[in-house]
Amino acid sequence: MQRPTSAVQREWPVTAADAVAVQEELRGLVDATDLGTTPRYVAGLDVAYEGDRLAAAVVVLDGESLAEVDRAVVRGETTFPYVPGLFAFREVPALLAGLEQLGTTPDLLVCDGQGLAHPRRFGLACHLGVLTGIPAIGAAKTTFVGSHGELARERGATAELVDDGEVVGAAVRTQDGIKPIYVSVGHRVTLPTAVAQVLRLTPHYRLPETTRLADRACREELSHE
DNA sequence: GCGACAG
DNA sequence: ATCTTGTCGC
Task: Work out the percent of chain A whose per-residue pLDDT is above 90.
Answer: 93
pLDDT band at A224 (very low <50, low <70, confident <90, very high): confident
Asked if A179 CB < 7 A from strand C, the reply is no
Q: Are A58 and A45 in contact (CB under 8 A)?
A: yes
For residue A223, is pLDDT > 60? Answer: yes
End-to-end CA distance of chain A: 27
pLDDT band at A210 (very low <50, low <70, confident <90, very high): very high
For residue A89, is pLDDT > 60? Answer: yes
Distance A139 CA to C4 C1' (A): 26
Domain formed by A5-13+38-223, architecture: 2-Layer Sandwich (3.30)
pLDDT band at A12 (very low <50, low <70, confident <90, very high): confident
pLDDT at A3: 54
pLDDT at A184: 98
For residue A7, is pLDDT > 90? Answer: no
Task: Work out the percent of chain A whose per-residue pLDDT is above 70.
Answer: 95
Q: What is the pLDDT of chain A when averaged over all its residues?
A: 94
DSSP, collapsed to helix, strand or coil, labels residue A22 as: helix
Distance A75 CA to C3 C1' (A): 22
* A112 assigned ligand-binding residue: yes
Residue ranges per structural domain of chain A: 5-13+38-223
pLDDT digits (tens, 9 = 90+) for A35-61: 989 999 999 999 999 999 999 999 999
Question: Measured between alpha carbons, how far is A225 from A214 in angstroms, rounded to an integer?
Answer: 18
